[in-house]
Chains A and B, each alone.
Chain A
Amino acid sequence: MNHAAGWGYTALFWWTGSAWLAAPDFTAVGSLPYYGLRTIEQLIIFSIAAFLMVSGFFVAFAARRQASVSWRTVQQRIVYLLLPYLLWSLSLFAFNFFQGEFEGKVLSLRQYLTLLVVGGATDGYYYVPMVIQMFLLAPLLVRVARWRWQVLLAVTAVILLAVQTLGYLQITGIAVPPWLAFWTKSWLFPHNLFWFALGIVVGLNLASFKEWISRWRSVWLTTAVLLVPIGIVEWEMLQAAAGQPFLPTQTTMLDSLYAAAVIFAWLAFENVSPPQAQELSDLGAKSYGVYLANSPVLDVAAQVIAKVLPVLLAYQILFQPILWIAGLGVPLLMMAVVSYPKSPIRAYYQYIFG
């Protein structure tokens, strides 16, 4: 949905309803479709935090009763994250190469390698290098969590706040030394280490954590609901402070608070089963494959719509659901085809979709 919203902004600012513009036209900022896209982004901004918490929880599970998680487990997780990532990234490179361009230019081998390291094959792939760094840190994090979990959470929270403070400075045009700005890059671990560490701490202390969050469950829910409009207003204020009509969304401190409130509310209300809980759970288990496949699928779907039925670009209320259906449906179809019992590549499923 986040990627689909990105295409939504592209259509909103670069498409007049009859032709592509040479330069963006931001008059649609403040319109109903604009706030619709912003609301979607704001609602789902907790998702990376939630995925990292699940990964941290798994690390706690894998640590068993030992001092820390084994390097063998770390290695296995990295292999199953890395192989599908490389496959999809290289496929995207090949696709772009045969189109004769990568955002307008042919890249050198070194540039391709750099893109692989930073998760730059397509928007959103930054998550894989980032989570791999966290798995590499996992043995140390578990040791600290077992020693003093409060220290781990405090240190990682300070890192998170520091990175987000730098983000505020950069948005508002205050100069940040390059060596410091480097650490705010999304493919590096400092941005999101807190959520991974929180997952480890929760996994190691599940009973007491659940008891604690249950006591405050209405607080988490109220906070989450209130922070949706507040987060939208905050970004509008930051855009105004930056003197820009539009800036691609970044995670702010309020967004992190929102993410925590959503995750805690979800866990605190665990006895409330959402509709289609089973289907959602099955979908969750396929999320890595959907995540890898959905970016290229959305890119292709958006470009096909732009060429075949460009009139749809003017109607976000139609354009967005089509992208959601394509972004979810096509990867699920691909996964179903590969995992079909008679499929000759069924045994390679885990290397393709994780």
Chain B
Amino acid sequence: MNKQQMLLDYIKQDLLKGRVSTLSPDDDLLDSGILNSLGILQLVSFIEERMELQVPDEDVVYENFNSVSALASYLDGLAN
């Protein structure tokens, strides 16, 4: 499974807990109220545990986390 799909599944199942049925890769995670202070911690924790990628604190910025597609791109860059 690619990173984008993993992130989409995780956000829908664990962060949103089925609250919305559709989530597009380009949906704004902040404007849609999906991300909050604890949600970011949870998402970073998921990335570090399941994808085995270390996310530096300095990289936890809106530009990298604003959407699933932006996050997947950032993580692709991090992995390479």
A61/B62 in contact, CB under 8 A: yes
A206 CB contact (under 8 Å) in B58, B65, B66: B58
A288/B42 in contact, CB under 8 A: no
Residues of B within 8 A of A210 (CB): 57-58
A58/B36 in contact, CB under 8 A: yes
User: Which residues of B1-43 are within 8 A (CB) of A?
Assistant: 13, 16-19, 30-31, 33, 36-42
Contact A350 B19, CB 8 Å, known A55-B37, A58-B40: yes
| B-contact 0/1 string along A324-349, CB 8 Å cutoff | 00000000000000010100001111
Contact A285 B18, CB 8 Å, known A61-B62, A77-B36, A206-B58: no
Question: Whole-angstrom distance from the CB of B66 to the nearest CB of chain A?
Answer: 8
Question: Whole-angstrom distance from the CB of B13 to the nearest CB of chain A?
Answer: 8
Residues of A within 8 A of B57 (CB): 206, 210, 270
Residues of A within 8 A of B79 (CB): none
Q: Give Cα A207 to B59, complex, Å.
A: 10
User: Which residues of A271-290 are within 8 A (CB) of B?
Assistant: 278, 281-282, 284-288
Chain B: which residue is nearest A206 at the CB level? B58
Chain B: which residue is nearest A348 at the CB level? B19
| B-contact 0/1 string along A170-211, CB 8 Å cutoff | 000000000000000000000000000000000000110010
A62 sits at the interface (CB 8 A): yes
Contact A72 B41, CB 8 Å, known A58-B36, A350-B19: no
A76 sits at the interface (CB 8 A): yes
Contact A350 B45, CB 8 Å, known A54-B37, A80-B33: no
Residues of A within 8 A of B63 (CB): 64-65
Which of B38, B41, B60, B61 gathers most chain A CB within 10 Å?
Answer: B38
B38/A61 in contact, CB under 8 A: no
Residues of B within 8 A of A80 (CB): 33, 36
Chain B: which residue is nearest A79 at the CB level? B33
Contact A281 B41, CB 8 Å, known A61-B62, A62-B62, A270-B57: yes
B60/A61 in contact, CB under 8 A: yes
Residues of B within 8 A of A79 (CB): 33
Residues of B within 8 A of A76 (CB): 33
A264 sits at the interface (CB 8 A): no
Q: Give Cα A349 to B49, complex, Å.
A: 24
Contact A347 B18, CB 8 Å, known A61-B61, A62-B62, A72-B31: yes
Task: Add 10 more A-B contacts to A80-B33, A339-B17 (CB < 8 A).
Answer: A58-B36, A58-B40, A63-B62, A210-B57, A210-B58, A284-B41, A285-B41, A285-B45, A347-B19, A350-B19
Please name 20 pairs of A and B residues whose Cβ atoms are closer than 8 Å in the assembled complex, sorted by A: A54-B37, A58-B37, A61-B62, A62-B62, A64-B66, A73-B31, A206-B57, A207-B58, A210-B57, A278-B49, A281-B41, A282-B45, A284-B38, A285-B38, A285-B39, A285-B41, A287-B38, A347-B17, A350-B17, A354-B38
| A positions within 8 Å CB-CB of B | 54-55, 57-58, 61-65, 72-73, 76-77, 79-80, 206-207, 210, 270, 278, 281-282, 284-288, 339, 341, 346-350, 354
| B positions within 8 Å CB-CB of A | 13, 16-19, 30-31, 33, 36-42, 45, 48-49, 57-58, 60-63, 65-66
